[in-house]
Amino acid sequence: MVAAVPIATTPASAESNGGVRVMPLGDSITDGFNVPGGYRIELWQRFTSGGYRIDFVGSQFNGPASLGDHDHQGHSGWTIAQIDANVVNWLRATNPRTVLLHIGTNDMYGDTSGAPSRLATLVDRITNTAPNADVFVATIIPKSGADNQVRGYNAAIPGIVQSRAAAGKRVHLVDMYSALTLSDLADGVHPNATGYRKMAAAWYDALRAVPGSIGGDTPPTTPPPTTPPMLPGTARRASY
């Protein structure tokens, strides 16, 4: 028997390059199940090539060397309620400028009727704790064998986002469901490498549409998107 060499999953201290603090927040899809680092790998590479200086923040840590900053706040198996119970402490510890929220997949088992209400509570807790942060709320990606549940949950998310945006909250919608298909999943739940790259593209396009969410005080090295920028306090469905 050959003993496996354990790989460290937690750093001695959080990585930081002094850039705009972005918190990837969610469950195993944020953590990067199947592909350690998940969508954060491609997203980081897009930031780098686009001239953006970003500091991923969170209490978790994983991913390959090609991911320049391994910090995140993704927790495998966690539900909306579990994230909600801990998010205040995480936000206070890291003070993110931007939050990328993809959560609800683990709520699609059993009775899903209360999931939108739980998400609304979580979004309110985030915006109340970090009122100056831009919060990007994604519809969840497809899930094999549970499309009706996923569609029902996702259908409620635009209204949750729009009502908060209308009240002046810095909340934005990302249509992640349409960015992937079942063929982009490795196991019916978690994306494969291609699926994670598609998620990264969706996040990146949404972030670039909101001035300041990933910097922007100085122009990036690549041209800005051709669509008009989304102002804080407005919601718009991103198309891919």
Positive or negative CA dihedral for 30, 146, 178, 184?
positive
Give the DSSP H or E segment for 119: helix 115-129
202-215: average pLDDT: 97
Name the nearest CA neighbour of 164 among 233, 80, 213, 91. 233
Q: Report pLDDT digits (tens) over 108-141.
A: 998 899 999 999 999 999 999 999 999 999 999 9
Quickly state the pLDDT bin for 10 (edges 50, 70, 90). Answer: very low
Quickly state the pLDDT bin for 62 (edges 50, 70, 90). Answer: very high
> What are 190's two structure tokens?
């978690």
Quickly state the pLDDT bin for 1 (edges 50, 70, 90). Answer: very low
Q: Which CATH number fits domain 24-209: 2.40.50.100, 3.90.950.10, 2.60.20.30, 3.40.50.1110?
A: 3.40.50.1110
Q: What is the pTM of this model?
A: 0.85
The pLDDT, as a whole number, for residue 187 is: 97
220-240: average pLDDT: 39
The pLDDT, as a whole number, for residue 221 is: 41
32-45: average pLDDT: 97
The pLDDT, as a whole number, for residue 69 is: 96
Domain parsing of the chain, residue ranges: 24-209
Report which residue type is found at 159: G
Looking at every residue in the chain, the average pLDDT score rounds to 87
Q: Is 218 exposed, middle or buried (0-12, 13-18, 19+ CB in 10 A)?
A: exposed
- Residue 103, pLDDT > 50, answer yes
Q: Report pLDDT digits (tens) over 139-169.
A: 999 999 999 999 999 999 999 999 999 999 9
Quickly state the pLDDT bin for 14 (edges 50, 70, 90). Answer: low
Q: Is 58 within 8 Å of 94 (Cβ atoms)? A: yes
The pLDDT, as a whole number, for residue 5 is: 28
